[in-house]
Amino acid sequence: MQSKLCSKKMMRAILLGAVSYIAFSVEISTQAEAQSSTLPSITVDQPRPSARRVTPARRSTASRAAPRRAAAAPRAVEPVRYLVPSTGALGTPPAPYAGGQVASGASLGLLGNRSVMDTPFNMTSYTAELIQNQQARTIRDVLINDPSVRTIQAAGGGADGLFIRGFYYDSGDYGLNGLYGIAPYYSTAANFVERVEVLKGPSALLNGMTVGGTGASSGGAVGGSVNLVTKHAPDIDITQLTGTYVSRGQFGAQVDVSRRYGEHKEWGVRLNGAYSNGSTPWDRQTDEFGNVVLGVDYRGERARLAIDVGHQTDNLNPPLRFFGVSTVIPEPPKPGTNFQVPWAYYKPTDTFLTARGEVDLTDWVTAYAAFGYHDSKIDYLYPSPNIQSSAGALIGRPGLGHETFETFAGEAGLRATVDTGPINHALNVNYSINHRTYDQKLSASSGLISWNLYTPPTSVLQPSLSPALAQTTNANLWSVGVSDTMSMWDKRVQVTVGVRRQTAGVGVDTYLPSVSSRPNDETSVWSPAYAVVVKPFENISLYANYIEGLQTPVVVSGNFSNAGTVFPPTRTKQAEVGVKIDTGRFTTTLSAFDITRPNVITVPGTPPSQQLNGEQRNRGMELNVFGEVAPGFRLLGGLALIDGEQTRTQNGATDGRVAIGVPVVTTNIGAEWDTPFVRGLTLTGRVIHTGRQYVNATNTLSIPSWTRSDIGARYTFASPWNGKPIVVRASIENLFNEAYWASAYSGVITLGAPRTYLVSTTFNF
């Protein structure tokens, strides 16, 4: 309790500083509005055009109300430009904000594309420019920039599970082009991604329920959600080759080729591919990775279409996953120590497809539809080590597994704008479906193996395995959502109301002796949302929202007396308020939220059982900053303060204790400086801090806080043979090679990555 009191005092102190900073930003913003602004636009929606075809014209950067266009800068043969109405969303991503690291808006599912200042939620959209400049390998490397997001595993584990606002977000719930569960299941490469959109808070109205996992820890998108937007062909031709290197011997290459065809350049084709192989920063670990993604799009006068198909495969030997913890947490081993047995492996393969189309029925009504398919296969063999002593003694039961996930997703809907007197209505209706079949075959060892955290386990023999046991789980989700955003006084006041009717069912077919098969049980739930945006000044937005999230039905595992029981969907409730200040080149957001989520808890017994009668409440504040604070100097990062509390536990045993894996403070700040003394040279740096995390419900075990420092540089110069830019990038992650436990989650902990060197060179042809 003393620790919690200190944490709250810390939160108050930091809050006072944040409020002072916001007040200073308001003063700057007010002064900026009083002057004649020459700052670039971040407007996403544009006035309804009177004609569909427009002639090319040079657009002034001083215009804040310039319409969003489907085509970009002119070429030698100018494509015909078609205006996309505000009801359209496909192929018109919000423009990058000043500095290019984040976008000026993002997709909000049911609500379509919205600018940051017109969004009543806390959201950030990271760009392809940031992904390439930071040499991000997977989406995990992109999300480390967000103070409200913490990854479960470091590189070397083969998975991208997250915490968002202190709640678990499953790697299988990532959205791809607005369809959730279609992205590669455990980890998604970043080379084919144009935008990484992070929405904080529940989003049942906007996106429906995520299919997630089927265990008690499946989580659902209750703390936030992630949507990935794939790359498509711009108006300029791209032929790009990038060579990559990651310590200690991981060499690779990436290709990016893009063209547009047709009389008006209406057809676009873009191909992205990557391959790497070799030793990783961890001892005795190799990783062979490859992918290829093809995107084809069409943009016409009244219709738009985008199709993406991709394949990704990984071969990680051996995988570095979780440590089970019961009574003691030893000191972390030397950075880069490989604790896993040498014969362990992890081989995921993913094939995925998305297709999305829009048709403008009128200048104020757009119909849209989308379909997605994802087939994921994972073969693995490894023991999950459990820590037995402070001396690093480990035991584990090896498991040989084969898992498949087959997911279908789709949606269809209408967006319309209607004026009723002084009020403009943005109306939306949406129908969505998601179906996932999960098959698991698992052969477990008949006995345990023993080894040590600090000693390379090169002599541990692989034990014999029992016959495979199998289980199939089917999750079926469908929903209907409607919303109306009412705008008045030139969008100075915007009120959004909406509701989604979600139906979810889970069926279990099993050959496990302790679990009985169950038919597909369906449950329907109403999920409302209300939000408001008020702009007292042009560049200041005040917002508030009440929105709910829906947690996927939970299937009790075979380790409990009520194994096979399916708990119905549960509703997470969030209330949030915030302020956003855009000075034109630099944006600051401050938000406060309160999220309450029902929990599955374990009831003691022989064997124990699980019941759906627990509750966790996370309350906190977030400060986010991004943009250019001065010409050539960019900032990105922020601060998150979260009070995670167990509010209802078994017999009240741990009521009021800190929730597992929720640090009070997480903060990170990154900076880029275009040096004046060497043209084309940019220096970069980043500091990431995560506070102490409790590992068990009684708060008797915890991992200490940790801080990671990264540095880097990139140099851009003209090619001597074609005059096009060549970019050389180099960075060091975990500069001081700190050894630390990175995260805690449901009784397990993970190691942080060692010092990692990254080098790449990009050639343009």
If you compute the radius of gyration of the chain from its CA atoms, what whole number of angstroms results?
25
458: which DSSP letter? Answer: T
Task: Among 2.40.50.430, 2.40.170.20, 3.40.640.10, 3.40.50.150, name the CATH number for the domain at 226-764.
Answer: 2.40.170.20
**Considering the chain, what is the average pLDDT of its residues?**
87
Cβ neighbours of residue 652 under 8 Å, at least 6 residues apart? none
The whole-number pLDDT of residue 460 equals 79
Residue 549 identity: G
CB atoms near residue 490 (< 10 Å) = 9
Q: How far apart are CA 589 and CA 583, in angstroms?
A: 12
| Statement: residue 37 has pLDDT above 50 | no
- Match 């760009």 to its residue by tokens: 127
Classify residue 42 as exposed, middle or buried by CB count within 10 Å of its CB (0-12, 13-18, 19+): buried
Q: How far apart are CA 100 and CA 350, in angstroms?
A: 30
The whole-number pLDDT of residue 446 equals 79
In the chain, count of helices (H) and strands (E)? 4, 44
Where residue 715 falls (left for φ over 0; alpha for ψ -120 to 50; beta otherwise) is beta
Place 24 in a pLDDT band, splitting at 50, 70 and 90.
Answer: very low
The whole-number pLDDT of residue 243 equals 98
The share of the chain scoring above pLDDT 90, in percent, equals 71
The whole-number pLDDT of residue 450 equals 93
| Statement: residue 70 has pLDDT above 60 | no
Range from 138-152, 395-409, 415-429, 545-559 carrying the lowest mean pLDDT:
545-559
Task: Kindly report, residue by residue over 3-19, the tens digit of the pLDDT.
Answer: 554 555 544 544 444 44
Place 432 in a pLDDT band, splitting at 50, 70 and 90.
Answer: very high
Q: What is the mean pLDDT of residues 445-463?
A: 85
| Statement: residue 476 has pLDDT above 80 | yes
Place 53 in a pLDDT band, splitting at 50, 70 and 90.
Answer: very low
The whole-number pLDDT of residue 471 equals 82
Task: Kindly report, residue by residue over 288-321, the tens digit of the pLDDT.
Answer: 999 999 999 999 999 999 999 999 999 999 999 8
| Statement: residue 178 has pLDDT above 90 | yes
Q: What is the mean pLDDT of residues 650-662?
A: 95
Task: Kindly report, residue by residue over 486-521, the tens digit of the pLDDT.
Answer: 999 999 999 999 999 999 887 777 655 555 555 556
| Statement: residue 33 has pLDDT above 70 | no
The whole-number pLDDT of residue 34 equals 40
Task: Kindly report, residue by residue over 229-277, the tens digit of the pLDDT.
Answer: 999 999 999 999 999 999 999 999 999 999 999 999 999 999 999 999 9
The whole-number pLDDT of residue 551 equals 82
The share of the chain scoring above pLDDT 70, in percent, equals 87
3 state SS of 597: strand
| Statement: residue 20 has pLDDT above 50 | no
Range from 487-496, 594-603, 685-694, 721-730 carrying the lowest mean pLDDT:
594-603
Under 8 Å between Cβ of 373 and 352: yes
Question: Which of 194, 195, 272 has the alpha carbon at shortest distance from 240?
Answer: 272
Place 79 in a pLDDT band, splitting at 50, 70 and 90.
Answer: low
> SS3 for 206-244, per residue?
HHCCCCCCCCCCCCCCCCEEEEEEECCCCCCCEEEEEEE
Q: What is the mean pLDDT of residues 88-93?
A: 91
- Match 């080590």 to its residue by tokens: 385
Place 72 in a pLDDT band, splitting at 50, 70 and 90.
Answer: very low
Range from 371-385, 446-460, 479-493, 616-630 carrying the lowest mean pLDDT:
446-460
Q: How far apart are CA 603 and CA 601, in angstroms?
A: 7
Range from 69-83, 96-110, 326-340, 678-692 carrying the lowest mean pLDDT:
69-83
Q: How far apart are CA 679 and CA 717, in angstroms?
A: 9
In the structure encoding, which two tokens stand for residue 466, read together?
Answer: 């029992």
In the structure encoding, which two tokens stand for residue 425, read together?
Answer: 């209505």
The whole-number pLDDT of residue 510 equals 63
The whole-number pLDDT of residue 594 equals 98
Under 8 Å between Cβ of 348 and 160: no
Range from 63-67, 431-435, 447-451, 634-638 carrying the lowest mean pLDDT:
63-67
Q: How far apart are CA 254 and CA 135, in angstroms?
A: 11
Q: What is the mean pLDDT of residues 284-288?
A: 96
Q: How far apart are CA 401 and CA 186, in angstroms?
A: 15
